[in-house]
Amino acid sequence: MKNKILLIDDDQDFLEATTLLLEASGYEVLSATNGLEGFQKVKDVSPDLVLLDMMMTYETEGAETAKAFALDAAVQDIPVVMITGAKRDKSFPVELKPDEQALPVKMVLEKPVTPERLLKVVQMFIRRSGEEHRQFVGGIADIASKWKGMDGNLIMILHEIQNIHGYIPREVSFELSRILDIPLARIYEVITFYNYFKLTPPGKHLISVCIGTACYLKGGAELLQELKEFLHVNEGETTPDGLFFIQPVRCLGCCGLSPVMMIDDKIYGKVNKKDIVDILSQYE
Amino acid sequence: MKFSVRSADSNAAKNKKINKIAVGLSSCGIAAGARDVFKALEKEIAAQGLEVSLTQCGCAGMCYAEPLMEVSSPGGPRILYGGVTPSIALEILQKHIVEANPSHEALKKYVMEVSPKQVRIVLRNCGVIDPENIDDYIDHDGYAAFKKVLKDYSAEDVVEELKTSGLRGRGGGGFPTWMKWNFARKVEADQKYIICNGDEGDPGAYMDRSVLEGDPHSVLEGMMIAGYTVGATKGFLYIRAEYPLAIKRISKAIEQARDRKFLGQNILGTSFSFNLEVRLGAGAFVCGEETALIASIEGKRGCPVPRPPYPSVKGLWGKPTVINNVETLANIPAIIHNGGSWFASIGTEKSKGTKVFALTGKVKNTGLIEVPMGMTIREIVYDIGGGILNDKQIKAVQTGGPSGGVIPAHLLDTPVDYENLQKLGSIMGSGGMIVMDEDDCMIDIAKFYLGFCVEESCGKCAPCRIGGTQMLRILEKIAEGKAEEDDIAKLRRLSLAMQKASLCGLGQTAANPVLSTLKYFKEEYDRHVHDKTCPAGKCRGLYHYVIVSERCKRCGLCLRHCPAGAITGSREEPYLIHQEKCIHCGQCYEVCKFKAIDR
């Protein structure tokens, strides 16, 4: 099922361009041109993310609308990203005071926004559908309670999370921070220190190229280079079609078969650069 | 492969009433297809209704000949077969067991020989027992040492035994194990810990993985004895998350040991209580350093802290902690069982016992080997390793991973022990031994190791973080032919600064590969810097590609592949590479079918 995004903006050009961009990226897009209409639509369709313009018919319409969301139990969980053309220093009029925790505004973006930036922000904050969200965050409580009270549990919990998801999703970290009652920064500090933990979903197939010394001597680095050129991605990145994720690894412990690469669980030994196309074409 | 027979040991002979087949199912064996061999055998044994006990075992160390299977029949010898495929396995099953003819002509080509120069203490059970079966371990004198210690030894006795044995830490530095234990033993504390360091991060070293996968109980037993000696009630095994099979087998072994009351409260009716837990690493090389490892077990970023205080005084959660490497711990039960003086009779004056090496690189028989300390590198490479691949010239041997150095060909007769390696500017390290031939460029090697350290530096202290990066830049300049006269002097200065000022072992030793290549292969550096050529032909930036007109057939393939438009020519005009446009990518060299391009 496609994720729904609601755009609320009075600028027709922005609506059209953004709709095209988001639809091309696989989202379902709805739009409204003022706060009232937007509020109605949010209640009707329950989108997974709202992109809300700050200044519409009057200067603080966006902020007022966001406050209205916050006060309505039916929609207050829907994440909102605020977009504004106004410079933050002079006329940023949002008084997101009353109860900031409850406000659904996740981020304020300043126009102009590049398409790449916008897509990234959308990906970051989009709410998963109820089922998906439960699936995502559901197991955390169990894992956390299993390890609760044990010293030094964070890394072990993160391992279990990554085993389930293949990476450590942002919303899971949020949830974890809440359950364990530790700052989110503590969690991210650990995730980003260790190479093993990933913040983005890896591709469908994981390609690990060994660049341990034995494989390096026999051409492991050139193999990696060839793969990168062939798939047009860098190490630690997923191909645009989501099929492959490339990572160099230090040693697969199969030095007798060097140079070695591993796709998912299958190890390919004595790989020649020329074999890469044949090997990759087996995966889809 | 020569024909030979592995001697049957006394213990295995006792329960040798039926035919036995063991297939090596460690990570490397599985990669080479051992699971298929196992399944094929299983099916065939069931189909024919044979009386054969089919089990799995750990790695026998002969990685070049995986998959391996070992077959024995009642009263007969144990024979190890290598390079086995499912169909070969069935042939062996048929001839060796069904026809009861182990010396059949057709089988001889699969029989493997274990070099008589090897002495297996740490690897005593690897490839022999079923690692997931505690009874098999107990049948091979497993937990006998632990029981003996509980019954007859005081903590001082164990320390004394270790002192006699002369065992030194196998993780790198070679610190005497008895001293480490004794420090922790003497500190008064309400809680003490034992940690097994299984964060084997050195590229090209995998002995810890092999022991954890092939003989997990021996590591547990070593930890239990350590716990008893220093008065610790809790232990952690810190294992790389990249070793899923090792984690699985260790966890299983812990459960089995708990069932048999080797772990838990009041073990075997004594007042000693001990428990073990597994903690996973997460891909940070620096966590092999003990203070960083402790931080990681505590659930933090793996950043080292200055020593002293040493972990034996103030370690995990501020409590006295003994950290030993996997190989060290696997030695302990054997030492207690056979006595410290037995262990001390093997090896050299200051380095006792054996050392496991992962022999890899340009050598014929790659694999895990265990040799007595004091064996020369030449013996290891030629007698056990079978010599250099494609019979090329050996150039150097690298030991100690990213913290070690290279040993040039003319020093191959050096006996391997802690002191000798240090004298040569390398270290024992965890035991990677990588053989390099004439095609390997030393600048490239130095760059590889330094790049590793730069990537793995935790970034806490400036000498390591900045020094490493700067040195790497200089090496890259040298490899690209853009080096200046004083760059080598700069390298030396930076190395010295890193050695003196870095916080932990990672930074202090990161410059070793550069210093040792500079020491033995200065000439090669000079050729790169002054003549802008790479004698081994590895540094791409230094090639000059030239088309040799006599061999050129004017096919135009190189011109079509050149991404820089640096080649001109046609059927009538001779083909030429314009050096000022050439980006040294090597495309033309690779595509030319007539070898008409020189570099």
- Tell me the per-residue pLDDT of B16-63, one tens digit each, with 9 for 90 and over: 568 889 998 887 788 888 899 999 999 999 999 888 889 998 877 888
CB-based contacts of B595: which residues, under 8 Å, 6+ apart? B551
Q: Inter-chain contact B282–A195, Cβ cutoff 8 Å? A: yes
**How far is the alpha carbon of A149 from chain B, nearest alpha carbon, in Å?**
13
Amino acid at A94: V
**Phi/psi at B17 (5° precision):** -90, -25
Query: Which one of A152, A190, A214 has the shortest CB-CB distance to B204?
Result: A214
Torsion of CA A13, A18, A21, A23, to 10 degrees: -110
Residue B173 in tokens: 């530095």
Query: Which one of A196, A258, A267 has the shortest CB-CB distance to B282?
Result: A196
Return the residue in B25, B27, B28, B394 with the most chain A beta carbons within 10 A, the one to mutate for interface testing: B28
- What residues in chain A have per-residue pLDDT under 50? 89-102
Residue whose token pair is 């009232």:
A36
Look at residues B247, B240, B177, B258 and name the one whose alpha carbon lies nearest to residue B216: B247
Residue A62 in tokens: 């966006």
For B325-379, what is each residue's pLDDT tens digit? 999 999 999 999 999 999 999 999 999 999 999 998 899 888 889 999 999 999 9
Q: Inter-chain contact B296–A155, Cβ cutoff 8 Å? A: yes
CB-based contacts of B339: which residues, under 8 Å, 6+ apart? B161, B164
Helices B155-165 & B177-186 angle (0-180, nearest 10) = 160
Q: What is the pLDDT of residue B9?
A: 43
- Pick the more confident residue, B104 or A254: B104
What domains can be seen in chain B, in order of their start residue?
10-110 (3.40.30.10), 134-344 (3.40.50.11540), 354-437 (3.10.20.600), 442-531 (1.20.1440.230), 543-598 (3.30.70.20)
Distance CA B561, CA B573 (A): 18
Query: Which one of B31, B65, B301 has the shortest CB-CB distance to A254?
Result: B31
Element (H, E) at B378: helix B377-378
Task: Kindly list the residues from chain B whose CB atom is less than 8 angstroms away from the CB atom of residue A189.
Answer: 301
Residue B25 in tokens: 């199912």
Q: Inter-chain contact B361–A250, Cβ cutoff 8 Å? A: no
pLDDT band at B128 (very low <50, low <70, confident <90, very high): confident
- Bridge partners (DSSP) of residue A237 are A246
Q: Which of A24-28, B110-114, B448-452 has the lowest mean pLDDT?
A: B110-114
Instruction: Output the CA–CA distances (angstroms, integers) from residue B345 to A87, B339, B357, in the order listed.
Output: 80, 10, 20
B207: left (phi over 0), alpha (psi -120 to 50) or beta: alpha
Distance CA B163, CA A24 (A): 71
Contact indicator for B234, B279 with CB cutoff of 8 Å: no
Q: Inter-chain contact A153–B280, Cβ cutoff 8 Å? A: no
- Chain B residue closest in CA terms to A163: B241
Percent residues over pLDDT 90 in chain A: 15
Q: What is the pLDDT of residue B235?
A: 96
Q: What is the pLDDT of residue A80?
A: 86
Q: What is the pLDDT of residue B14?
A: 45
- Chain B residue closest in CA terms to A217: B361
For A55-99, what is each residue's pLDDT tens digit? 888 877 888 888 888 787 777 778 888 888 765 544 444 444 444
Helices B144-152 & B326-338 angle (0-180, nearest 10) = 60
- Chain B residue closest in CA terms to A254: B28
Number of Cβ atoms within 10 Å of the Cβ of A26: 8
Q: Inter-chain contact A213–B203, Cβ cutoff 8 Å? A: yes
Task: Kindly list the residues from chain B whose CB atom is less than 8 angstroms away from the CB atom of residue A251.
Answer: 202-206
The correct answer on CATH 3.40.50.2300 for the domain covering A4-127 is yes
A149 at B interface, C-beta within 8 A: no
Q: Inter-chain contact B27–A217, Cβ cutoff 8 Å? A: no
Distance CA B21, CA B70 (A): 6
DSSP E strands in A79-150: the ranges are 80-84, 105-110
Task: Kindly list the residues from chain A whose CB atom is less than 8 angstroms away from the CB atom of residue B302.
Answer: 193-194
B195 at A interface, C-beta within 8 A: no
At A208 the three-state DSSP class reads strand
Peptide bond preceding A79: is omega within 30 degrees of 0, i.e. cis? no
CB-based contacts of A141: which residues, under 8 Å, 6+ apart? A179
User: Cα–chain-centroid distance for residue A131?
Assistant: 18
CATH of A205-280, one of 3.30.390.50, 3.40.30.10, 2.40.30.130, 3.20.20.70: 3.40.30.10
Distance CA B465, CA B448 (A): 17
Across the range B395-414, mean pLDDT stands at 93
Distance CA B291, CA B197 (A): 11
Residue B50 in tokens: 């044979």
**B residues 335-374 lying closer than 8 A (beta carbon) to A:** 358, 360-362, 366-367
Q: Inter-chain contact A196–B242, Cβ cutoff 8 Å? A: yes
Look at residues B492, B484, B534 and name the one whose alpha carbon lies nearest to residue B511: B492
**A residues 258-277 lying closer than 8 A (beta carbon) to B:** 258, 260, 267, 269
Q: What is the pLDDT of residue A99?
A: 47
pLDDT band at B256 (very low <50, low <70, confident <90, very high): very high
Size of interface A-B (CB pairs under 8 A): 121
Residue B571 in tokens: 């059927």
Distance CA B330, CA B193 (A): 18
For B309-326, what is each residue's pLDDT tens digit? 999 999 999 999 999 999
- The helices-and-strands tally (H runs, E runs) of chain B is 25, 17
Residue whose token pair is 């040298």:
B478
Residue B313 in tokens: 């005084």
